[in-house]
Amino acid sequence: MSMETLSSGAGVPRAAATPDPDTFPKLVARNAMRLPRKVAIREKDYGIWQSYTWRDYLNEARLIALGLASLGFARGDKTAVVGDNRPPLYWAMLATQALGGVPVPLYQDSIETEMQYILDHAEARVAVVEDQEQVDKILRVKDQCPRLEYVVYDDPRGMRHYKDKGLVSLEELRARGRAFAEDHPGHYEAEVAKGRADDIAIICYTSGTTGQPKGAMLSHGNLIVTAANAIAREGLRASDEVLAYLPMAWVGDHMFSFAQSVVAGFTTNCPESAATVLENLKEIGPTYFFAPPRIWENLLTSVMIRVEDAWAPKRLMVHFFLGVARRVERRRLARRAVPVGDWLLHRLGWLLVYAPLTDNLGLRRIRIGYTAGEAIGPELFEFYRSLGINLKQLYGMTESSALVSIQQDSDVKLDTVGPPLPGVEVRISESGEVLYRSPGVFQGYYKNAEATRETLENGWVHSGDAGVFDTDGHLKIIDRAKDVGRLGDGTIFAPKYLENKLKFSPYIKEAVCVGHGRPFVAALVNIDLQSVGSWAERRNIAYTSYTDLAQKPEVYELVRQEVARVNGTLRDEAPLRGAQIRRFLLLHKELDPDDQEITRTRKVRRGFIAQKYAPLIDALYSDAEHAQVDALVTYEDGRTATVRAQVKIAGAEVFAAEGGR
């Protein structure tokens, strides 16, 4: 066979034994027995962290389940769940599973049309939502979703005058549940007992970069076995704390804040609101923390801004010790001995800089930190590891119950995603695509046999990612298989690789590189309003709006230096040296999921951008110094408007191999 196959732990049976207990409702019942007083989930409400034990978790879910049963909820029915991470919404998912139903979490910032598509496609019979905002959205599309009968809302604020049929408050639902329990004693337990490992536990709609979302069906067995394997390998325990702040509709949150929490018994913490996440992170100090590169970037940017604003001696001290940390970390990653001088400085740096800094970020207690979703910029990854945070890269997707491979504690590299997890087999196809099969492999896309056939072949999933194995058996993801291109002269062009380098700059929020079939690489750049704004303020540069700031000559000069820095780092990387960025422009608006330029998980939609900004891209490859752009923007309420702007185009310095320019 010409294909490389790799699995972790030879002889691991692929179809792992059925787990026991075999469903989430049964696991929660077990937790309530074994760990009745252990805190299962916390939520900050009215300024105070409110705790719920595993016994509370079970009781709350039972009450909601009985309430749903009183509405006639039957096995196989679907419940849409929409809102920020809130304990009642997690309970509603468990309640649905307890009745043999399937929860379908939706992104809370979806606009109406997206919501309507999923509600209708999933045939949701009940929607459990957080508040008035979500109720309003659902009521407006309810007529197009004939199967949707009930909308249950948690927060009663502003709901007093709603008289719509089928609208039920969570409080009413609980009351109905209590009444139902009196007439049907033992109903909950009897329904839970009917559950089986191969029942569908959740349908996660993937916010694909192309086409309509697809609903990946994951069974209880998929999620429980995957969670348990990762728990064993990573050494997670009931005393761990995790912060649930990423969308509930994303399979990662479902794995970390629900599946693993239930299997291992650890505590999930729900922040007060989306705006208080960083503050809540500091208060909780999680021991187990996942963040996509974008969040790690935001954290770094927020620190660096404060460092730059600090008193000069402090600033110099921070920069000095961060430099030491980086040197030490580089040697460690390269498995070389650390010189005594640096070792001593590193210890001192821990006292003076690293410990206070990680404490301030809320990362001090982290035993295991993950990043995934996109390749992380090497500089960014190094930065956190150099502070002593056990940050590791993992790889996975919805179709694999979130996890395929994770780096091991003692064996972390900058540019890999580690070896496959126990029970997972990975191989690289002839075209360079990553394929895998595991007990976590999904049951197919809901009502989409064609897409299922395209993705799932004899139990192997086509990931759509281009990857290679390195000599140590680590998987390395280069880019999306379809995004890796070649310049006109045949030089390899991996856009994401360049974009990540650009995005390590605190001043650059998002970047899109183009170059496939072109003579050179060009970049469309989004500045970071927060940090460039504060940079401009320090220099007394007045601006009125994002668009205005982005077109300031001083800002162009600032970004030009950042682009040159990225080009400089490519100088020593032989295959990519030819793919330096020669021309760039600063976009007049931020790329926005509402405009379909990036997905809700902030992945760039290249095809769409290439089309939408075609005039800008053409201008980048002409001699023009300006380009005119008309862009349609979509507001959160669904209204649209056209924005016209004049965008400047600038060149950047490029470097030849060491020794000359």
Partner 1 sequence: MSGAPGAGPLLEVDAISVSFGAVLALNRVSLAIARGEIVAIIGPNGAGKTTLLNVVSGFYHPSEGRILFDGTERTNLRPWEVAALGIARTFQNVALFKGMSVLDNIMTGRLVKMKGSILLEAIYWGPAMKQEMAHRAAVERIIDFLEIEAIRKTPAGRLPYGLQKRVELARALAAEPTLLLLDEPMAGMNVEEKEDMCRFILDVHDEFGTTIALIEHDMSVVMDISDRVVALDYGRKIADGPPHAVRTDRVVLDAYLGVAHA
If binding is defined by CB under 8 A, does position 46 make contact with partner 1?
yes
Give me the least distance between CB of 257 and partner 1, in Å please.
20
Q: Does 517 bind partner 1 (CB under 8 A)?
A: no
Work out how close the CB of 92 gets to partner 1 at its nearest, in angstroms, rounded to a whole number.
21
Q: Which of 10, 11, 161, 313 binds partner 1 (CB under 8 A)?
A: 161
Nearer to partner 1, 160 or 539 (CB): 160
Q: Which of 210, 273, 360, 611 binds partner 1 (CB under 8 A)?
A: 273
* Residue 48 Cα distances to 44, 123, 197, 581, angstroms: 5, 38, 38, 50
Task: Choose between 279 and 342: whose C-beta lies nearer to partner 1.
Answer: 279
Sites for partner 1 among residues 418-437 (CB under 8 A): none
Contact (CB, 8 A) for 616 and 586 = no
Residue 620 CB: number of other CB atoms within 10 A?
24
Closest separation between CB of residue 162 and partner 1, Å? 11
Give whichever of 157 and 661 is closer to partner 1, judged by the CB atom.
157
Shorter beta-carbon distance to partner 1: residue 239 or 276: 276
CB 507, min distance to partner 1, A: 23
Question: Could you tell me if 493 and 478 are in contact, meaning their C-beta atoms sit under 8 angstroms apart?
Answer: no
Under 8 Å between Cβ of 129 and 83: yes
Among 3, 10, 37, 47, binds partner 1 (CB under 8 A): 47
Alpha helix stretches (DSSP H) within 527-620 = 529-538, 546-550, 553-570, 606-612, 614-620
Closer by beta carbon to partner 1, 140 or else 319: 140
CA 219/CA 401 separation, integer angstroms: 9
Q: Is 158 in the site for partner 1 (CB under 8 A)?
A: yes
From the CB of 121, what's the least distance to partner 1, in Å? 31
In the complex with partner 1, the residue whose CB is nearer, 160 or 335, is: 160
CA distance 108 to 95: 20
Question: Does 275 contact partner 1 by CB under 8 A?
Answer: yes
The partner residues of 6 in beta bridges, in order of sequence, read: 426
120 vs 279, which CB is nearer to partner 1?
279
Token pair listed for 16: 């792992």
Pairing of strands 456-457, 460-469: antiparallel
- Check if the beta carbon of residue 579 is closer than 8 Å to that of residue 513: no
Both tokens assigned to 456:
């799932």
Minimum CB separation from partner 1 for residue 311, in Å? 20
Distance in Å, CB of 110 to partner 1, minimum:
19
Instruction: Please state the three-class secondary structure of 38-79 as a single string.
Output: CEEEEEEECCEEEEEEHHHHHHHHHHHHHHHHHCCCCCCCEE
| Residue of the chain from 77, 234, 241, 272 that contacts partner 1 (CB under 8 A) | 272
- Which stretch, 24-32, 68-76, 274-282, 572-580, contacts partner 1 (CB under 8 A)? 274-282
Restricting to residues 547-566, name those near partner 1 by CB under 8 A.
none
Q: Which of 172, 279, 283, 415 binds partner 1 (CB under 8 A)?
A: 279
In the complex, what is the shortest distance from the CB of residue 637 to partner 1, in angstroms, rounded to a whole number? 9
Q: Which residues contact 321 (CB under 8 A, 6 or more apart)?
A: 345, 348, 349, 352, 353, 354
Tokens for 136, please give them: 């309003």
Nearest-approach distance from CB 175 to partner 1, in angstroms: 21
CB of 283 to partner 1, least distance (A): 12
CB of 137 to partner 1, least distance (A): 15
Interface with partner 1, residue 488, by CB under 8 A: no
640 lies in the binding site for partner 1 (CB under 8 A): no
Tell me how far, at minimum, the Cβ of 176 lies from partner 1, in Å.
24
Q: Return the residue of 276, 561, 611, 622 that touches partner 1, per CB under 8 A.
A: 276
Q: Binding to partner 1 by residue 186, rule CB under 8 A?
A: no
Of 44 and 125, the one with the shorter C-beta distance to partner 1 is: 44
Angstrom distance (rounded) from CA 635 to CA 642: 11
> Which stretch in 46-54, 169-177, 178-186, 564-572 sits in contact with partner 1 by CB under 8 A?
46-54
Subset of residues 138 to 157 that bind partner 1, contact rule: CB under 8 A: 157
**The one-letter amino acid at 604:** V
Cα separation, 184 vs 576, in Å, equals 68
Residues 54-113 that bind partner 1 (CB under 8 A): none
Looking only at the bridges linking them, the beta strands covering 508-514 and 521-527 are: antiparallel
Q: In whole angstroms, what is the distance from residue 28 CA to residue 25 CA?
A: 5
Does position 160 interact with partner 1 (CB under 8 A)? The reply is yes
- Residue 120 contacts residue 145 (beta carbons within 8 Å): yes
Q: Is 238 helix (H, G, I), strand (E, B) or coil?
A: coil
Instruction: Say if CB 413 and CB 335 are below 8 A apart.
Output: no
The size of the interface with partner 1 (CB under 8 A), counted in residues, is 13
CA 230 to chain centre: 18
276 vs 360, which CB is nearer to partner 1? 276
Measured distance CA(334)–CA(339) in Å, rounded: 14
The Cα–Cα gap between 78 and 97 comes to 9
Smallest distance from partner 1 to CB 331, Å = 41
Tokens of 15: 């179809």
Q: Which is nearer to partner 1, 162 or 460 (CB)?
A: 162
Mapped onto helix, strand or coil, the DSSP state of residue 505 is coil
Shortest Å distance, C-beta 529 to partner 1: 14
Work out which of 17, 20, 36, 45 binds partner 1, going by CB under 8 A: 45
Main-chain dihedrals φ then ψ at residue 68, nearest 5 degrees: -60, -40
The residues of the shown chain that bind partner 1, judged by CB under 8 A, are: 45-48, 157-158, 160-161, 272-273, 275-276, 279
